[in-house]
Structure 1
Amino acid sequence: MQNAPLTNASQEIKLLVLDIDGTISGESNTISQPVKQAIAAVQAQGIAVAIATGRMYRSALRFHQDINSTLPLMAYQGAWIQDPISQKIYQHSPVSRNIAEQLLDYFEQPALRSLLSVHFYINDQLYVRDITPETQAYAQRSGITPISVGDLRQTLATEPTKILALCDDTSVIKDLLGNLRRQYTPAELYMTTSVATFFEATNAIVNKGNAVRYLAEDVLGLQSHNVMTIGDNFNDLEMLEYAGIGVAMGNAPEDVKAIANWVAPSVELDGVATAIEKFLLS
């Protein structure tokens, strides 16, 4: 864990960026009152609050509205950045059709086909080969109705914003990530896990760190030392590293906690409220 002089750093924070799942939202799939109150308190002090999530834009929108954010929403790991008020899309960086087809070929190998539920996200819609139990559970939590198309190649007239492969066996996802990281360089494809059962792939330039940098520096005219980020998983690593104060949740994997400036209590213990009180309200 980094040992930064956080007391002084906290006085310079102008932007707080929050992940959703495992950070401001736990098992209930909602934001608790203590967390909402802490967010409102920092906004009252003039600190802007934004969301950066792996979720679809439509799925993340209710959380953005719940915290009364006035900033663009960073969805799909930052592949889609849109202002819900003006509807302006600031950035959209999809996966190339060529790589999407290659990934689909890989997922549909006989050894993997029956194990994986594959999701293509196109124009903020969710397309699937068929509706699996994993897809049903995902759709219920996300509040999204999946569109079953059989062969996902039919959807590729438009390039996907994100590609997701789900499997309840976490060892399958771990092996998948390792194998594909040997096939594609970071300059070709960004790959991560947001939870241990989700493999996620986006355009190589996409990650939450780049999204937060864009929002802070290009949109708001801030620098990294003006930013505090809070997240709980491997898809949050880049934004935790970018920020002047990067906070990992208590429920985060150990490798994520290791790069954070501070580790908050878990999501079920309202860790975001504790972190906000420690760094921004004390």
Structure 2
Amino acid sequence: MKYKLVAVDIDGTLVGEDLVIRDNTRRALHQCAQQGLVVTLATGRMFQSTKPYAEKLGLDVPLITYNGALVKHSGTGEVYHHRTIPLELAHEIVRLCKELGLHLHTYVDDEYYVEEYSDWSRRYEEISGVTGHAVGDLEKFLTREPTKFIISEEPEKLEQYIDYLWEKLSPKLYLARSRPIFLEILHPSVSKLEGLRFLGECLGIQLSEMMAIGDAYNDVEMLKGVGLGVAMGNAPPDVQAQADWVTAGIEEEGLVVALEKFILKG
């Protein structure tokens, strides 16, 4: 199969904990582009947190951000697709998290907001490279529909509440773990697969002509829905089980291994 597009997750796939793109990774993705493939990023990150990685890779393409809720061009800034959370549901999420004592981040117009700064705010900023805004009462602040929420907690605390949150919020909303410490909440139609489907329609590329590579639960729909879904070796076993093929882990440059097997030397 000759693929026309490759979609790459960022955290745990493109970069490890050091958040650095390795030279071999940059070289392999550049070679894919030279062969005529569209190379894009498909991530839960904000657009403004994703764009620097696209620039480092020399990508001038639409990017799948916010788990597919926002598809926006890295160069022109043109918005191809944007799904937001209805305001009534957004207020329900804020009240629920306050009741449970969970740290909540919200995202409006590609900026992120918290009630007050905390260690979780600083931790998120270290990962994303984006500075947040402390605005006090989030329910009062939210007068426009947000793109998404993130609940940030230690894995043990998230596990304690995850079933209850699913019961309360699903199927009204899309919930996915992007990291062990992050639970993302978005419009119920959102997924990276939806973002890729929309992008494919714009570019004239079928999902069957796409290859996607990821490592987390928010990658599962994408890995199952494209022509070739590749899970990283560092992905949880139940994520790996949904993929067509499992590559090496992030420390063994699993992204490069997969690109060389299926595209560059295929």
TM tier relative to shorter chain = over 0.9
* 1:156, distance to aligned residue in structure 2 (A): 1.0
**3-state DSSP of counterpart to 2:84:** coil
Counterpart CA distance in 2 for 1:98 and 1:173 is: 24
**3-state DSSP of counterpart to 2:50:** helix
Match of 1:96 in 2: 86
Counterpart CA distance in 1 for 2:123 and 2:90 is: 24
1:55-70 map, 5 Å: 55-70=45-60
Counterpart CA distance in 2 for 1:156 and 1:150 is: 11
Segments of 5+ residues of structure 1 without an aligned counterpart are 1-8
Amino acid of the residue matched to residue 173 of structure 1?
Answer: L
Q: 100, 109, 115: which is aligned to 1:129?
A: 115
Counterpart CA distance in 1 for 2:123 and 2:60 is: 30
Kindly provide the CA deviation profile for residues 98-133 of structure 1, in whole angstroms up to 9, marking residues without a partner as x. 111111111111xx31xx321010111110011111
Amino acid of the residue matched to residue 156 of structure 2?
Answer: S
Q: Does 1:183 align with 2:173?
A: no
Q: Does 1:147 align with 2:112?
A: no
Counterpart CA distance in 2 for 1:80 and 1:263 is: 28
Q: Please say if residues 32 and 263 of structure 2, whose CA atoms lie closer than 8 Å, have aligned partners that are also in contact.
A: yes
* 1:91, distance to aligned residue in structure 2 (A): 1.1
**3-state DSSP of counterpart to 1:136:** helix
State the number of aligned residues: 265
Kindly provide the CA deviation profile for residues 54-91 of structure 1, in whole angstroms up to 9, marking residues without a partner as x. 00110010111122222201111011111122221111
Kindly provide the CA deviation profile for residues 169-218 of structure 1, in whole angstroms up to 9, marking residues without a partner as x. x13213433212222343x21011001111110001111011111112x1
Q: Does 1:245 align with 2:228?
A: yes
Misfit runs of 4+, over 6 Å: none
Match of 2:251 in 1: 268
Amino acid of the residue matched to residue 146 of structure 1?
Answer: G
**3-state DSSP of counterpart to 1:108:** helix
* 1:30, distance to aligned residue in structure 2 (A): 1.7
Counterpart CA distance in 2 for 1:107 and 1:117 is: 7
1:135-214 map, 5 Å: 135-168=121-154, 170-186=155-171, 188-214=172-198
Q: Does 1:33 align with 2:23?
A: yes
Q: Please say if residues 70 and 195 of structure 2, whose CA atoms lie closer than 8 Å, have aligned partners that are also in contact.
A: no
**3-state DSSP of counterpart to 2:241:** helix
Q: 230, 243, 247: which is aligned to 2:213?
A: 230
Counterpart CA distance in 1 for 2:117 and 2:195 is: 31
Counterpart CA distance in 2 for 1:55 and 1:175 is: 25
Amino acid of the residue matched to residue 257 of structure 1?
Answer: Q
Q: Please say if residues 177 and 191 of structure 1, whose CA atoms lie closer than 8 Å, have aligned partners that are also in contact.
A: no
* 1:269, distance to aligned residue in structure 2 (A): 1.5
**3-state DSSP of counterpart to 1:49:** strand
- Identity, % of aligned positions: 35
Amino acid of the residue matched to residue 162 of structure 2?
Answer: L
TM-score of the two chains, using structure 1 as the length reference: 0.91
Q: Does 1:13 align with 2:3?
A: yes
